[in-house]
Amino acid sequence: MPSGVFAPASLGPITLRNRIIKAATFEGASPKGQVTDALVDYHVRVAAGGVGMSTVAYLAVAPEGRTGRGCIVLGQDTLEGLQRLTDAIHAEGAAAAAQIGHAGPVANPKSNRLPALAPSRHLSPMGTIAQAVTEADIARITADYEKGAAVAVAAGFDALEIHLGHNYLLSAFLSPKLNKRKDGWGGSLDNRARFARQVVQAVRRAAGDKVAVTAKLNMTDGVPGGLWLDESVEVARMLEADGCLDALELTGGSSLSNPMYLFRGEAPLEEFGATLPAPFQLGFKLLGKRFMPSYPFEEAFFLPYARQFRDALEMPLILLGGINRLETIEHAVALGFPFVAMARALLRQPDLVNKMQKGEATEGLCVHCNKCMPTIYSGTRCVLVPPSA
C-alpha cells in the first residue's frame, strides 16, 4: 500500500481517513430543493466506497443564488434533510463537506423566478440578464453566507467549501472581464477581492474552530480578459494572510462562457443540446462549439498551474482536475498537495478508492467522454454504467 495516501490526514480541525475527497459535482437529485433519498444514496455510495470526505454540491445561501430551482437553499426548512444526509455519510466512515455559495450571473432567473445578480449588468451567452448588485445586496449576501454557514454547521457538516470559482458571484467579482464597477468593489485587485474576503471571514465566524473552512478558487477563468494566474495567486496570498481558511481547492473555467475548461476532453454537444428547450436547440447547434469547445484531456490537467500556487503559499492545497490514477495521487502528495479531489472517476466507480486501497485497481475506468455533464438535469450519473449497477 502506498504510504500516506490512505493514512489519516488533518484538514484544519478535522481528520479525514485518507487524502481523497469527492469533489463537488451538482447531483441533480433535489428537484424540489429538498434532500431526497436519491441525494442521500448518491453520497452514501462514494462514502461507502472509501473517500475521506464527500462534498455536497451545491448549497445556495439565498434563493436568487440558486443555479435553478433544483438547488437546495441553506435554511431551517432544509436543515432536517441535511442532517439526515450528513448522518448517512458519517455512518459510512467519511466526513461530509458542504459547498456553499451564490450563483450570481450563473443563476437561471427564469427557473428561480428571481433576478440574477452580477458585479455589473451582464448578458450571458444563454440570453439571461443579470442585474448589478447594490451595496445593500452585498451586505445582505454576506449575512446570508454567515447564516447559511451556521445552518450547515447545525446540520452536521464537518467542512464548508466556499465557492470562489467558475464565475459564480464571488468569482465574478474577481474577474476583470465581469467586474466593471467604479466603486470600492471594482477596479483594483484589492477592491475586486474585497467581497470574497469579507464572505470568507463571515463564514469562518459561523464555522467556529471545530469545522474546517476551505474555498474553491479559480486559478484562471479560461476566457480572454478574465482572471489569470498573476492575479489569482495574489488573491490566494490575501486569503492566506487573512487566516480564515484551512485549505484552498484550485480550479478554473467559467460556467458562463467556457464550461469545458474545467472538464477537458470531448464536449457532449448533442447530449447537452437535447436538454435545452426547443427554441434554443437550433441556436445551440449553430453556436454550441463556441460555447463548449473541446480540449485535449490530460491527467491532472490543472497541476502545472497549481504548482505555481504551491510555490507561492504555505497553506494546504487540494489538487483537482481529471485525477484518475493512483500514481497521480501519489505524485500530487509527493509534490506537497495534502489532498486530491476526484469527481468523474467516482461517478463511474463510487468504490474506486476502496479498490485502490485493496490493490484491486491502480486507475479508474472513466474515459472522460463527459456525457455525464448533461445528466445534471435528471440525476447526475455515468451513462456507461447500467442503471441497476
- DSSP assignment of 145-176 equals HHHHHHHHHHTT-SEEEEEE-BTSHHHHHH-T
Catalytic residue among 42, 58, 145, 168: 168
Distant-in-sequence, close-in-space partners of 34: CB < 8 Å, separation ≥ 6 = 72, 77, 78, 81
What CA–CA distance (Å, rounded) separates 353 from 377? 27
DSSP 185: T
Max CA-CA distance within the chain? 57
Q: Phi/psi class of residue 292: alpha, beta or left (left: φ > 0; alpha: ψ in -120 to 50)? A: beta
Q: Active site includes 261?
A: no
What are the cell numbers at 69? Answer: 430551482
Helix (H), strand (E), coil (C) string for 9-49: EEECCEEECCCEEECCCCCCCCCCCCCCHHHHHHHHHHHHC
What CA–CA distance (Å, rounded) separates 389 from 374? 20
Residues known to be catalytic: 168
